[in-house]
């Protein structure tokens, strides 16, 4: 199948608020193929490792608390131009600034609890996908 890959998580607020199905539908309608997917939960160690790049940021503690507050859905998505197109689909980090129709505009509750994650580069997409699906996503 043609295309390249990005990695996403449906974050605890969106899972808690019952938006898994609607978000997956938006992802499919936008032309992404789901390559791997798992509903799971992050341990504190997982969240600190996943967001290590933000360790010095003032919101790091809040981010780790939030990302460990409930189940998440992790997935690898495939499409041409996957990383950039998925960032467009999810919208700005702060849902108040996200464009109409984006996943964060529709489903996020705050800048911290912003419904979904999307990788910010091809390199990070591969690192993040392997973090969750090291064995199973390799066909």
Site string for ligand RTP, 39-58 (x = CB under 6 A): ---------------x----
Dist CA 67 CA 106 (whole Å): 20
Residue number with the smallest Cβ distance to ligand RTP: 93
C-alpha 97: how far from chain center = 18
Element (H, E) at 73: strand 72-79
Smallest distance from the beta carbon of 53 to ligand RTP, in angstroms? 8
The sign of the torsion formed by the CA atoms of 83, 15, 40, 67 equals positive
> Is 64 near ligand RTP (CB under 6 A)?
no
Q: Is 5 annotated as a binding residue?
A: no
Q: Is 138 annotated as a binding residue?
A: no
Q: Which does 131 bind (CB under 5 to 8 A by kind): ligand RTP, Mg ion, none?
A: none
List residues near ligand RTP by CB under 6 A: 54, 59, 62-63, 93, 111-112, 114, 117-118, 120
């Amino acid at each position: 199948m043609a295309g390249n890959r990005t990695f996403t998580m449906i974050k605890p607020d969106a899972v808690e608020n019952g938006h898994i199905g609607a978000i997956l539908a938006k992802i499919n309608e936008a032309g992404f193929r789901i390559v791997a997917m798992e509903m799971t939960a992050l341990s504190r160690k997982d969240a600190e490792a996943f967001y290590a790049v933000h360790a010095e940021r003032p919101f790091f503690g809040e981010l780790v608390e939030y990302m460990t507050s409930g189940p998440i859905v992790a997935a690898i998505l495939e499409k041409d131009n996957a990383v950039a197109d998925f960032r467009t689909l999810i919208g700005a980090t702060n849902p108040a600034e996200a464009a109409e129709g984006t996943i964060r505009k529709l489903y996020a509750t705050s800048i911290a609890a912003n419904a979904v994650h999307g990788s910010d580069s091809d390199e990070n997409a591969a690192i993040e996908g392997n973090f969750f699906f090291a064995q199973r996503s390799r066909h």
